[in-house]
């Protein structure tokens, strides 16, 4: 995939505005949950799977793993999106990724402590009703709920804070 395709994808994410409507369903009643994360290592994969286990009872959970390093083959059973699945014009050429983005999740959790351009584009394209992620200035365009936490915190702590706040919303 070319640098040009990446640029088109990132430009697309900056230009999209989300409607202000928030999810009308409490997390307790949510049936459809999406999880987006960037591959780092097996330890992060274990944390993601632990998070999924903690919220999966009675829910339909879908995940998408973004792999930004073409030299790494992630050890995950979740669908993987990488730059080879982008066209020259920044269009996504992956059926699994397109299906993930079109699902009207009640909640979409972004389990990264950094917000990269590709995840920005995926978040802006998502049909999720309520997107939850790390509090950053640039994140205001991509999340309905942002969790403020020190970036040196572990993913486990971040995920716990996400659940704390979505469970507190009624």
Question: Out of 3.30.70, 3.40.50, 1.10.3470, 2.40.160, which CATH number does the structure's domain 3-16+27-168 have?
Answer: 3.40.50
Q: What is the pLDDT of residue 151?
A: 77
Tokens of 106: 């009640």
Number of H helices, E strands in the chain: 5, 6
Is the pLDDT higher at 91 or at 165? 165
Region 108-116 average pLDDT: 94
pLDDT for residue 10 is more than 80: no
Region 136-143 average pLDDT: 88
Q: What residue spans define the domains of the chain?
A: 3-16+27-168
Contact 110, 37 (CB under 8 A): yes
Mean pLDDT check: name the lowest of 7-21, 97-111, 144-158.
7-21
Is the pLDDT higher at 30 or at 151? 30
Region 121-136 average pLDDT: 93
Closest CA to 109 of 125, 130, 138: 130
Is the pLDDT higher at 4 or at 144? 144
Quote the mean pLDDT of the chain.
Answer: 86
Give, rounded to a whole angstrom, the gap between the first and last alpha carbons of the chain. Answer: 43
Region 147-154 average pLDDT: 85
Percent share of the chain, pLDDT over 90: 61
């Amino acid at each position: 995939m070319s640098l040009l395709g990446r640029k088109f994808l990132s430009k697309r994410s900056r230009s999209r505005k989300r409607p202000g409507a928030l999810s009308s369903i409490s997390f307790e009643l949510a049936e459809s949950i999406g999880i987006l994360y960037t591959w780092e290592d097996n330890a992060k994969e274990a944390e993601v799977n632990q998070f999924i286990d903690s919220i999966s009872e009675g829910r339909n959970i879908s995940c998408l793993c973004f792999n930004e390093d073409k030299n790494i083959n992630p050890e995950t059973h979740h669908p993987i999106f990488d730059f080879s699945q982008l066209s020259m014009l920044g269009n996504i050429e992956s059926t699994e990724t397109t299906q993930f983005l079109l699902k009207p999740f009640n909640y979409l959790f972004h389990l990264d402590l950094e917000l990269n351009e590709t995840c920005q584009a995926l978040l802006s394209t998502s049909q999720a009703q309520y997107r939850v992620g790390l509090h950053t200035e640039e994140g205001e365009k991509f999340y309905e709920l942002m969790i403020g936490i020190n970036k040196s915190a572990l993913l486990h702590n971040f995920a716990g804070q996400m659940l704390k706040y979505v469970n507190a919303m009624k």
